[in-house]
Amino acid sequence: MTEVSIVELGRGALHQLELWGDPAPTATRIAKALGHALPPAGRAEGDVLRLSPTSWLVSGDMATLAKALGDGGSLTPVGGGLVQIRLSGPGWRSLLMEGSLFDAESADFAADCVATVLIDHVTVTLRVESEASCLAYVPASLADDLLRFWQISAGGLPL
């Protein structure tokens, strides 16, 4: 067995933010409302994770964000479709590499890094919280299967 804790946090109040057209003016308004710029590719800041060139996963005060967004994009509730799972302990990186081609042990995959990867046939968005933990956003329809896969894998990993 390896030292890893797998905790299902459930579904959260998450929204997908998408920018349309010329995103620069909208991104400037949003940055002012958030108190920081939207994070670049592969990064997270505060309650915002970059998913694609013009798409972010966000939580927090949606009213302020929606006002800043105006007609420059959309803010869509997606929390019901994603289960949040925290992986922590010394073995969380090794566990992510089971059933995946992603190098979770890379020193470059550090706090506030974000990656969307395929793990055991499931597309998962990962956010490194700290050296000791990672938060996984898993499609709700596949969360039970992935949780079971991780539990089995964690039980079989060498120390």
- The 10s digit of each residue's pLDDT in 95-126 is 999 989 899 999 999 999 999 999 999 999 99
Give CA angle at 121 (124, 152), nearest 5°: 90
**Each residue's pLDDT tens digit, 64-74:** 999 999 999 99
Q: Which domains does the chain have, with CATH numbers?
A: 5-11+80-154 (3.30.1360.120), 15-79 (3.30.70)
Give residue 159's pLDDT. 46
Task: Provide the total of helices (H) and of strands (E) in the chain, helices listed first.
Answer: 4, 10
**What is the average per-residue pLDDT within 23-38?**
94
Q: Is the pTM of this model over 0.85?
A: yes
Cβ neighbours around 112 below 10 Å, total:
15
Give dist(CA 9, CA 48) in Å, integer. 18
9: number of Cβ within 10 Å? 11
Q: Which two tokens stand for residue 71?
A: 């007609």
Using the predicted structure, report yes or no on whether residue 156 has a pLDDT greater than 70: no
Distance between CA atoms of 59 and 69, rounded to whole angstroms?
Answer: 15
Task: Report helix, strand or coil for 2.
Answer: coil
Burial category of 107 from C-beta neighbours within 10 Å (exposed 0-12, middle 13-18, buried 19 and up): exposed
Residue reference for tokens 């909208």:
26
* pLDDT band of 92, cuts 50, 70, 90: very high
**Residue 98, Cβ density class (10 Å: 0-12 exposed, 13-18 middle, ≥19 buried):** middle
Tell me, rounded to whole angstroms, the distance of Cα 158 from its chain centroid.
27
Q: What is the three-class DSSP state of 5?
A: strand
Q: What is the C-alpha separation between 39 and 53, in angstroms, rounded?
A: 10
